[in-house]
Structure 1
Amino acid sequence: MSALDKALNYSKKVGINECEIVFIKKKTTTARITDSRIVEIKHNFDEDYGIRVIHEKKIASVRTTKPQEIEKTIDLALKSASGVRPRNFWRGLPENIASNQLSGVYDEKLHKISAKETMDIAQIMINSAENSKINTITGSLNIVSENFTIVNSNGLNVEDNATYISGIINAESEQSTIPVSGIGHVSSRTLKSFSPEQIGNEAQIMCTKSINPQKVDSGKYSIIFEPYSVGELLAFVVASNFNFKTFTEKKSCFSNNFQEEIAVNQLNLIDDPHIPEGLGTKSFDDEGIKTQKIKLIENGIFKNTFSNLFDSYKEGKYSTGNAIRIGSPMGRSSEPIPSCAPHNIKINSGDRSQEEMIKNTSNGLLVGRLWYTYAVNPIKGDFSCTARSGIRIIKDGRIIGPGKSVRIIHSLPKMLKNISEIGNDQRNVIQWASLPSITPSIKVEEITVNSI
């Protein structure tokens, strides 16, 4: 009998109403790059159990790494529950589902990858970033293979095997009037869809084309946000506004705009948990609910929100299958109480190439990377971010040179209404310990920037 079965049997024996156990078995291989060389190859192996106990509608949780102590851990959770107020709206954990393994989410080659193969991939990333104008190359390569299992006392028993690979390079140059840098990033679920050459090439191109930047005058510009910077906005500004809890608590800047137009007609924002190679792709969420594609914005109209069991039950609704237990650096964890988030927040591709978007811009900026992105006033949708590298100045349809850092303080509702073009360069993007996104470039009009 497995540790999970023993734990469930014990929870029934001591009379617990409901018990949920999540188990994660994870192997993480990391190559760390400093001073243009690989300085560390590290393997981490983790096995963790997360336990959620619901007794008399009181909810408590614990974690352990020791399967032989699960029964003691359950006793501890039950004892903790006695001091918790009951959640009378709770309607129960899910029952068993028929789960299926999606395509493009698991690669045996990544599962079995060796230290030497990891080093070879990381070295290609470094070699592709090298340039006579670049002084230092830093970055990392992370490869994750995991088995995630959920069981509960209502008969649920599902598991998922997953692999992830993500590489990032930061190239820096001091052969400029000020130090400049460039970033390259690629993530996927299978080795065949991963390009280490692309990572290095993108980093060195962004860096070398940022050398000797000009001052960007404060004022209003058309800004072309490239995918990596759009991913930053989606993760730290956009996504939370479509969280059901945030929406019902009137803390979303769109809480009063359900089924109304909140963006331009050509914008479609979707949570797509079934797309091949998506970093958040999965057939069931982290509570064992079947995942589904959710149209958050359809042709500019606010259509849906996303939720987990707890937040849905609180309002008399049911989960959309968006319970999340975020793992580091990617994948899932054994966190006993899940949060709520989109799996793959995606902007549908448009029909514009970057060249066409630039040609159609008279006074603008091309922004490849954002830093320090956060909501200033979430209820109003105001946010702030800083563009520190990868800035190109556009005049009369052509790039005239690199730009210095600028700060952008803007409004999300206004930004969504001022999107003028959507690119055809859609790609996977993930910020560190953040939400997976799939997005093309977008061009936004009338954005005020301030020189730094």
Structure 2
Amino acid sequence: MTSEIDSASLLARAGELIDLAKAAGADQADAVVVRSRSRSVSVRLGKVEGTEASESDDFALRVFIGQKVASVSANPGFDMKTLAERAVAMARVSPEDPFACLANEQDLTRNYPDLDLFDATEVPTNALREAALEMEQAALDVSGVTNSSGAGTSAGFGGLVLVTSHGFSGSYVASRFGRSVSVIAGEGTKMERDYDFDSRLFAADLDDPKLIGRRAGERVVKRINPRQVDTGSNVTVVFDPRIARGFVGHIAGAINGASVARKTSFLRDRMGQQVLKAGLHITDDPLIVRGSSSRPFDGEGVAGERLVMIEDGVLKHWFLSTSTGRELGLGTNGRGVRGGNSVTPSSTNLALEPGDVSPEELIRSVGNGFYVTELIGQGVNMLTGEYSRGATGFWIENGELAYPVSEVTIASNLKDMFMRITPANDIDRKYGVASPTIAIEGMTLAGC
């Protein structure tokens, strides 16, 4: 992939687009190229079901005339002068947006770090195929597994090229390699499904296909013959790390400046107040070397820094881009992501920092409760915090995982859940959102 990542020509074309836009009458402009290359193989029951390859360099030009803004996009081969003139013509007839703007010049980074995000390893298609087949077979070899939903492998990269009219010019690229498998255990109406996966920036860091397959098989076999449990209140629910990562995503959504500006977050009036249990910390760091969601600069050319978003349970920061910050009377903190004619804020490498106890100790401390391994449905209201999700997992009895459970609903309010989190110490930071096992007290469980 080495020869494919030379961004010099794309930087030159983006710079030319800026010049043409200004010549056509734009006051300011920025040009973005979103790059992607990928190959993937999918198999099922020992046979290849699909082999795909894709590549694109998608251009987007955003222009400003006063407080009016417009954006146009195109694939390679477009006529740059026509595109620039079209963007300016669209901006002239657009309504004013009081918050639309480029990043302030003093916020732009001039010297951004090399975060070691790119692995030039070429993975041949036949190697992708063999890994997928090996992974699936390892899962099928687990006693009790009866069928396969398929396995897949992928390799590729994505990147960003950004040029602005007020002096920023930069690019970066990050590779991505993945493996996943899903299998079935049981028969007829008693079938259960589960999966396992791995995704890394560097091919050599991927878990062995046999290990991934075996984990998937062992997970699904444990779910055979689930029971139902009685409805109860004040139940302690333990979230498996895979599920806890999604829960941390709810925290991120609640402290996103865009949601705050739209008044759609239940934490919109809580800056500087206790929003998590004392002792808990939420961090976000875009500059982790080889971090899954690291980036040397954001979608506006601003370098972010590590932030403790929530410190000792107290809310310290929103995720902010320049325009969102302006709407809230604040400055950007380098969390902007370009999308269409706007830049919206987002987290980078987000983590609920771990506690001091092992997951086994945490489960023992629960006594009786519910360990969640899968959630169903989208019953989360970010305006009110109301939380209600279908769930499957295992009943905790006398501090041990006793038997599989399905067809239950767990419910509470995120405001209360945030204040009742107890984290274990088993955090894995290889994904863009990281969380240890967590226990949340005082939830309602609706069973049979």
TM over 0.5: yes
The answer on 1:133 being equivalent to 2:144 is yes
Q: 1:234 aligns with which of 248, 252, 264?
A: 248
Task: Give the Cα–Cα distance (whole angstroms) in 2 for the partners of residues 369 and 272 of structure 1.
Answer: 28
Task: Give the Cα–Cα distance (whole angstroms) in 2 for the partners of residues 300 and 114 of structure 1.
Answer: 48
Task: Give the Cα–Cα distance (whole angstroms) in 1 for the partners of residues 342 and 101 of structure 2.
Answer: 16
Change (3 A) 1:257 1:281: same
Residues 250-285 of structure 1 show CA distances to partners (whole Å, capped at 9, x for unaligned) of 432122222111111232112221224432111111
The answer on 1:447 being equivalent to 2:439 is no
Unaligned runs of 5+ in 1: 326-333, 430-435
Task: Give the Cα–Cα distance (whole angstroms) in 2 for the partners of residues 99 and 40 of structure 1.
Answer: 43
1:5 maps to what in 2? 15
TM-score between both structures, scaled by the size of structure 2: 0.90
Aligned residue runs from structure 1 range 212-251, under 5 A: 212-220=225-233, 221-235=235-249, 237-251=250-264
Shift of residue 336 of structure 1? 4.5
Change (3 A) 1:276 1:182: farther
The answer on 1:80 being equivalent to 2:93 is no
Residues 183-227 of structure 1 show CA distances to partners (whole Å, capped at 9, x for unaligned) of 212222111221134432331121000011111222132111111
Contact 1:91–1:313 (CA under 8 A) maintained in structure 2: no
The answer on 1:184 being equivalent to 2:196 is yes
2:344 maps to what in 1? 339
2:408 maps to what in 1? 406
Contact 1:94–1:289 (CA under 8 A) maintained in structure 2: no
2:5 maps to what in 1? none
More divergent stretch after superposition (129-138 vs 286-295):
129-138
* Partner secondary structure for residue 68 of structure 1: coil
Task: Give the Cα–Cα distance (whole angstroms) in 1 for the partners of residues 152 and 398 of structure 2.
Answer: 38
Task: Give the Cα–Cα distance (whole angstroms) in 2 for the partners of residues 297 and 206 of structure 1.
Answer: 33
- State percent identity of aligned pairs: 20
Task: Give the Cα–Cα distance (whole angstroms) in 2 for the partners of residues 427 and 36 of structure 1.
Answer: 33
Residues 76-130 of structure 1 show CA distances to partners (whole Å, capped at 9, x for unaligned) of 2111112222234455445452343443421111xx3221222233233223322
Shift of residue 66 of structure 1? 3.0
Structure 2 counterpart of 1:372, one-letter code:
G
Residues 268-315 of structure 1 show CA distances to partners (whole Å, capped at 9, x for unaligned) of 112221224432111111111102222121111111111112111223
2:110 maps to what in 1? 98
More divergent stretch after superposition (193-202 vs 3-12):
193-202
* Partner secondary structure for residue 320 of structure 2: coil
Aligned residue runs from structure 1 range 191-340, under 5 A: 191-195=203-207, 196-220=209-233, 221-235=235-249, 237-325=250-338, 335-340=340-345
Change (3 A) 1:366 1:47: same
Task: Give the Cα–Cα distance (whole angstroms) in 2 for the partners of residues 386 and 84 of structure 1.
Answer: 44
Contact 1:16–1:55 (CA under 8 A) maintained in structure 2: yes
Task: Give the Cα–Cα distance (whole angstroms) in 1 for the partners of residues 267 and 136 of structure 2.
Answer: 44
More divergent stretch after superposition (135-144 vs 8-17):
135-144
Unaligned runs of 5+ in 2: 1-8
Change (3 A) 1:151 1:94: farther
More divergent stretch after superposition (194-203 vs 225-234):
194-203
Structure 2 counterpart of 1:367, one-letter code:
V
2:29 maps to what in 1? 19
Structure 2 counterpart of 1:15, one-letter code:
G
Q: 1:54 aligns with which of 64, 84, 88?
A: 64
Change (3 A) 1:399 1:345: same
The answer on 1:119 being equivalent to 2:123 is no
Task: Give the Cα–Cα distance (whole angstroms) in 2 for the partners of residues 347 and 400 of structure 1.
Answer: 28
